[in-house]
Amino acid sequence: MSKQVVLVTGASRGIGYALALELHRRGHHVVATARSESKLRQLAEECGDDRLEFEVLDLGDREAVQQWANRLKDKGYRISHMINNAGSLVNKPFADISPYELRRVYEVNVFSVFELIQKVMPLYSDDVHVVNISSMGGYQGSQKFPGLTAYSSSKAAVASLTECLQEELGERGWTFNALCLGAVQTEMLEEAFPGFAAPTTPGEMATFIADFAEGSQKFIRGKVLPISSTTP
Ligand SMILES: NC(=O)c1ccc[n+]([C@@H]2O[C@H](COP(=O)([O-])OP(=O)(O)OC[C@H]3O[C@@H](n4cnc5c(N)ncnc54)[C@H](OP(=O)(O)O)[C@@H]3O)[C@@H](O)[C@H]2O)c1
């Protein structure tokens, strides 16, 4: 018998941690990933039962991602919701961003989303909802900020990828949406905008994302949505 699970990447801190907790609280079986084992262990302890499962996974490691997808299959899991939340940011003047930094940002924010979806889509349930977490910086026509060329352009790529996936795979009944988040008070925000106080906590954003993931796929499909009360 297959078991329905929810995947959350980047669950070791910030929005992903709060989201994994929230989805677990709502009764889902959550499979949470990140690189930091100690923080994932803390998440599992906070959840307190086996409906929170974690996998230490570097999304840049192709082989590890494939092996993980195989293990999910072996367990008989079917994916009802997938939240591609993991993100990487570099805040530097355009001229100073090294090829390594540029690739790392695209690796996590774009390539891993592309490849992870390829690997796990055989496990999608008939009405899976895939939510890709983008950023206001990647939303076409939004205000842009110096230092964020690699990050914001990568978030625009994942937004466009979302629309393409809906077009190509949507007829199977699957739904892909991208949420372009505004400022949320996390460690990443502090890297992007040092000293800026965001009006939104990770817990508040997690509640919104969980509501959206659970309740919107009938009417919102293939959309790139700005989710911000302020700029940034
Ligand atoms: N906070 C904001 O204001 C804001 C605004 C717009 C969009 N967003 C987006 O929202 C998402 C969550 O942001 P956040 O602020 O919560 O960020 P965060 O606190 O920096 O958390 C990022 C998460 O991604 C994981 N991650 C990074 N590189 C990884 C890799 N190579 N392999 C696996 N996991 C990796 C990190 O875990 P490990 O380090 O343990 O691997 C961490 O759990 C991101 O996609 C971000 O771009 C955030």
Count the neighbouring beta carbons within 10 Å of the beta carbon of residue 193. Answer: 16
* 217-227 confidence digits (pLDDT tens): 889 999 999 99
CB distance 149 to ligand 1 below 6 Å: no
Atom of ligand 1 nearest to the CA of 187: 19
Task: Retrieve residue 207's tokens.
Answer: 């509640």
Specify the CATH class of 3-227 in words.
alpha beta
Closest by Cα among 99, 40, 108, 83 to 206 = 83
**Residue among 57, 132, 152, 188 whose CB has most ligand 1 atoms within 8 A, to mutate:** 188
The distance between the two most distant Cα atoms of the chain, rounded to a whole number of Å, is: 54
Domain boundaries, the chain: 3-227
Query: Which of 151, 137, 216 has the alpha carbon at shortest distance from 180?
Result: 137
Return the pLDDT at 1: 65
Residues 25-55: pLDDT tens digits? Answer: 999 999 999 999 999 999 999 999 999 999 9
pLDDT tens-place string over residues 129-188: 999 999 999 999 999 999 999 999 999 999 999 999 999 999 999 999 999 999 999 999
Mean pLDDT of 89-100: 97
Q: What are phi and psi of 224, to 5 degrees?
A: -115, 110
Closest to 179 measured CA to CA, from 131, 214, 147, 217 = 131
Q: What tokens does 10 get?
A: 């980047």
Q: How far is CA 216 from the centre of its chain?
A: 17
Residue 129 CB–ligand 1 contact under 6 Å: no
